[in-house]
Amino acid sequence: MDDQRPRARATKRGEADDGDVTTIVAPATPAGSGAVSILRLSGPETFPIACRMTGVNPSHVPSRALTRCTVRDGRGEEIDSGLVVFFPAPRSFTGEDVAEIHLHGNPVLVEWAAAAACALGAVPAAPGEFSRRAFLNGKMDLTQAEALADLITAKTDGAARAALRQLRGGIREAISPLRGQIVSLLTLLEASIDFSDDDIPLVSNDQVKERVSELRKKTGRCLESYARGHRYRDGATVAIAGVANVGKSRLLNRLLGEERAIVTEIPGTTRDYLSGEISLSGVPLRLVDTAGLREAEDPVEREGVRRSREIIAGADLTLFVLDGSRPVHEGDLEAYREVADRPHLVLLNKQDLPAVEEGALFRGSGRKATVSVSAKTGEGVGALLRAIARDLGPEEDAIMAEAPLTRLRHLEAVRKADVALGRAQEAAGRDLSLEFLAADIREAAQALAELTGEIAPEEVLSAIFRSFCIGK
């Protein structure tokens, strides 16, 4: 996740009188249609970014000609095989350096590639931004301009539909309660700045800090929900843990067998764990059986326990298995300590035998639910899969397929807001005066404008007049 973070490139100061120093990226083909998707980049960093992504150096190939390439993200992971074409400034659509990367017509690939470009320093283009730049650089002739007008209206409809879809879930929904909070915080700040000679309550830095940390929880949750969506592509790891003889291996086999879409079944590299992959409502899941969790004497076994811990630490979810047919013993509790703070489900296995244990002792902070199963008979496995899916599944799969760019823009917006809020927290900590906190909060509001709607000064002023008795 971290290396996916778009790095806003510091704009060089004293650069030619030019505000648009960013490099923008967007699909140049309508979302979700056609056999080929084209990703277009424009701006000063276009060539370095495209070169990193395609391995093709623009100075080694002819301009305006298609070159075969393998498209990779910044980590070197392969996205697709495709084509790339470079248009050096000024002979390009926008008049800036432009590159187009042709991919197979799969929206997930396009999003991945766009996200990769962002991670390398590009920002998602605003609607119509390519045309705007083209225009500002004097690059449009009459026919192009007419054709573009059609395209933009078409795009607006599409954008409206995409926005509606966004409303069903995902970032927008996660972020919308933020609006009211930002307005009310700004109201407080601006009231004590603009009406300080009126008789109104003052805000303290501590109050601001508290409110901002509330806001940051929301942006944080939203960034996390994107990370979840990411599992759609990258897959998730589910560890199976517990002491020996509670039925872990059998459970693994049952899960792999239950899901017909087994991709691989790889024997473990050590004798201590096995793993396999299944696809659960579209999310590739890697299931890993760990060695029994107990302090061991035998060095080989000890190594196994160490590895198990590592797997649990890196897993998106751990299934902690108990033998439900016998009472809990000290070993179970000790093993549980290893998973208690990580996201986990408590499984009471062996439901085919008379149940004794209820799992009531296992209440770690990371616990999501308790599920009863029988790995032997398959009883309860459906419920288990649903529980896993609930926890890991992409909440926004529909959106991802249909509006990749909008989503990416929104994510970018949330990130910017989060950064600005972080600055506000820091400023409050340093006891800077209110106007600096207000500047940061306003910047956050500005960043989110596309999701929450613009928060205009008029709206804040109205809120002030409504809530405070202003005026001498």
* Interface stretch with another protein, choices 84-92, 149-157, 299-307, 378-386 (CB under 8 A): 149-157
- Quick check: 223 binds another protein (CB under 8 A)? no
Residue 441 is encoded by which pair of tokens?
A: 């909060």
Question: What 3-state DSSP class applies to 81?
Answer: strand
Binding mask 155-184 for another protein (x = CB under 8 A): xx--x-------------------------
Distance in Å, CB of 174 to another protein, minimum: 23
Binding-site member from 16, 33, 75, 142 for another protein (CB under 8 A) = 142
Neighbouring residues of 409: CB distance < 8 A, sequence distance ≥ 6 = 124, 126, 450
Respond yes or no on whether the N-terminal peptide bond of residue 90 is cis (omega within 30° of 0).
yes
Of 371, 355, 316, nearest to 339 by C-alpha is 316
The pairing of beta strand 36-42 with beta strand 236-241: unpaired
List alpha helices for 81-204, DSSP H: 107-119, 129-136, 142-167, 171-175, 177-194
- Quick check: 434 binds another protein (CB under 8 A)? yes
- Quick check: 198 binds another protein (CB under 8 A)? yes
* Interface stretch with another protein, choices 47-55, 106-114, 161-169, 431-439 (CB under 8 A): 431-439
CB atoms within 10 A of CB 236: 22
Binding-site member from 20, 258, 303, 352 for another protein (CB under 8 A) = 20
Q: Measure the CA–CA gap between 148 and 155, rounded to whole angstroms.
A: 10
Q: Measure the CA–CA gap between 214 and 211, rounded to whole angstroms.
A: 5
- Quick check: 78 binds another protein (CB under 8 A)? no
- Quick check: 206 binds another protein (CB under 8 A)? no
Distance in Å, CB of 411 to another protein, minimum: 18
Binding-site member from 36, 167, 313, 456 for another protein (CB under 8 A) = 456
* Interface stretch with another protein, choices 40-48, 91-99, 192-200, 289-297 (CB under 8 A): 192-200
Task: Judge whether 357 and 332 are in contact, CB under 8 Å.
Answer: no
Q: Which residues of 69-97 are buried (b: 16+ CB within 10 A; e: fewer)?
A: bebbbbeeeebbebbbbbbbbeebbbbbb
Binding-site member from 150, 206, 297, 330 for another protein (CB under 8 A) = 150
Interacting residue ranges for another protein, rule: CB under 8 A? 11, 13, 18-20, 126-129, 131-132, 135-136, 140-142, 145-146, 148-150, 152-153, 155-156, 159, 190, 192-199, 430-436, 438-439, 442-443, 456-458, 460-462, 465, 469-472
